[in-house]
Amino acid sequence: MPAPFFYKLSNGFRITVRPAFLPDQSSIAQGQFVFAYFVRIENVGTRTAQLLSRRWLIHDDAGDDTEVVGDGVVGEQPVLAPGGVHEYQSFCVLKGRGGFMEGEYCFEAGDGERFACEIPRFALVAEG
């Protein structure tokens, strides 16, 4: 069964996320469930903007809630003109069989205005 997609449109950007459980990299006996997530950021608006930072909220069904804040995405701070796309993949490790992630990206437009774009909440589910 193909992995579900989650998407959200805000402030002229469409953020699409596709999570996937990685059983071969997980250690279920040790309570380590590894998930990859594939992100597509599309500028569907009318202004060029640079992605400056990210803020993730990660909920683990085992009871942990974590906030991750940092510059850019996987070491990059892409500039996206109207119609531009940036894609990347990353991963997270949970102690429980599931949880969810959500958050926001901070952008800066050419005129110096800063604004946030929401990352949709997406489910992390260890199948099997």
The verdict on residue 61 lying in a domain is: yes
Note whether residue 113 is domain-resident: yes
pLDDT value of residue 2: 58
CB 107 within 8 A of CB 79: no
Average pLDDT over residues 39-45: 98
- Residue with the two structure tokens 């059983």: 23
The predicted model scores a pTM of: 0.93
Instruction: Quick: pLDDT tens for 84-108.
Output: 999 999 999 999 999 999 999 999 9
pLDDT surpasses 80 at 1: no
Q: Residue 21 falls within a domain, yes or no?
A: yes
Residue range of the domain that includes 24? 6-125
Note the pLDDT of residue 4.
84
58 located within any domain: yes
pLDDT of residue 127: 82
C-alpha to C-alpha distance for 67 and 50, rounded to whole angstroms: 22
Asked whether residue 100 is assigned to any structural domain, the reply reads: yes
Structure-token pair, residue 103: 């958050």
13 closest CA partner among 123, 121, 120? 120
Residue 92 lies in a domain: yes
- Read off the CATH number of the domain in which 81 is found: 2.60.40.1470
Tell me whether residue 1 is in a domain.
Answer: no
Quick check: helix, strand or coil at residue 88?
A: strand
C-alpha to C-alpha distance for 33 and 104, rounded to whole angstroms: 24
Number of structural domains the chain divides into? 1
- pLDDT at residue 16 is higher than 80: yes
The whole-number pLDDT of residue 28 equals 87
Radius of gyration from C-alpha coordinates of the chain: 15
